[in-house]
Chains A and B, each alone.
Chain A
Amino acid sequence: GENVEQHPSTLSVQEGDSAVIKCTYSDSASNYFPWYKQELGKRPQLIIDIRSNVGEKKDQRIAVTLNKTAKHFSLHITETQPEDSAVYFCAPYHPRTYKYIFGTGTRLKVLA
């Protein structure tokens, strides 16, 4: 079956530093790669996504890069702020099954 691994599971950075979270997937047919941010007690919120025909996408301080050959995609947050502290999930989409398989999450803590 589909396998999604997310690393690291926890990440602490100083305010202003960069953070990188990596998601590795097993199904080469995956064609949509979203990242979600989830604050305590809230629903997952889409922060950035990328399609399979694009290698990189940027939105202000957030970027996502995709390496389809190696089957991984990464979330990059620059100039981190305390409000970036949350749990982040990747969830690659599998078009043959219509399913999104969520990673186990990365708890990011930005230290002021």
Chain B
Amino acid sequence: NAGVTQTPKFRVLKTGQSMTLLCAQDMNHEYMYWYRQDPGMGLRLIHYSVGEGTTAKGEVPDGYNVSRLKKQNFLLGLESAAPSQTSVYFCASSPSTPNSYNEQFFGPGTRLTVL
């Protein structure tokens, strides 16, 4: 089991460029999440998905779009990158259970710099 993987690990963009971050999990988890972590701060939720074909906004969704076309993949897109989006991006997944509380499994992160 690879767990949760993220592609790429590092990326440098110029302002206005676009890119897509890929998150993949092989644990058959229903729920997937995208967070950003700025230096010295906690994780803030960007978007999340509770199943294939569904997405929802988190705390800081502006400037980002997501898609969950396949259960195992969750894509995060930046249409026009801005320096304020310089951050470390973490993807996480968790299973659904009848009682609805679940351990999250995190990917290794993507370090994005926007110049």
CB distance from A21 to the nearest CB of B (A): 13
- Number of residue pairs spanning A and B whose beta carbons lie under 8 angstroms apart: 50
Contact yes or no, B48 A46, CB < 8 A: no
Classify the interface of chain A: helix, strand, loop or mixed. loop
Tell me whether A43 and B58 are in contact (CB under 8 A): no
> Interface size on A (CB < 8 Å)?
22
Q: For the complex, give the distance between the alpha carbons of A34 and B103 in Å.
A: 8
Is A31 an interface position by the 8 A CB rule? yes
How far, in angstroms, from A63 to B56 measured CA to CA in the complex?
A: 34
B→A interface (CB under 8 Å): 31, 33, 35, 41-45, 48, 50, 56, 58, 90, 99-104, 106-109
> Which residues on A are within 8 Å of B, measured CB to CB?
31-32, 34, 43-46, 49, 51-52, 89, 91, 93, 95, 98-105
